Amino acid sequence: MTLFDYYVTHVFPTGWQSIKGAFRIWCDLMTSNYKDYTLLHEDDPFTECKEWFWVSLGEDNVYPKTFLEHLQQMCDRIDRGEEKLIPLDEDFFDKLEEFVKDVELD
């Protein structure tokens, strides 16, 4: 992946998507359209929308170029059969439940 490809296919689209999301939430705040921001009945819709807006300003979903290249290399190794994949079937989940059955949550 060239630096040009990285910016054109990842950095710029992701940045614009983040800006678009923050602007959409800001528009909902300005038009009092915040009824869909609550999950629980006791939540205040305005407060939830305002908090989502402030969180969206700090979002950065842009991954480093080295991380994306590592993912691409891993996918190539999987395609070539160089990586052993562990299937997530019913037997796997049964073993997982058996493994954690004695664990108590605090």
Q: Is residue 44 part of a domain?
A: yes
Longest dimension (CA), the chain: 54
| pLDDT tens string 96-105 | 888 888 887 7
Q: Which residues span the domain enclosing 23?
A: 3-100
> What tokens were used for 33?
């359209």
As a whole number of angstroms, the distance between CA 84 and CA 27 comes to 48
Q: Is residue 86 part of a domain?
A: yes
Is 70 exceeded by the pLDDT of residue 106? no
Q: Is residue 106 part of a domain?
A: no
Kindly state the average pLDDT of the residues 81-89: 84
**SS3 label, residue 106:** coil
As a whole-number percent, the residues of the chain with pLDDT over 70 amount to 99
Q: Is residue 105 part of a domain?
A: no
Tell me how many domains the chain contains: 1
Alpha-carbon separation of residue 32 from 42, 46, 48, 53, 102 (angstroms): 18, 8, 12, 13, 48
Kindly state the average pLDDT of the residues 78-101: 86
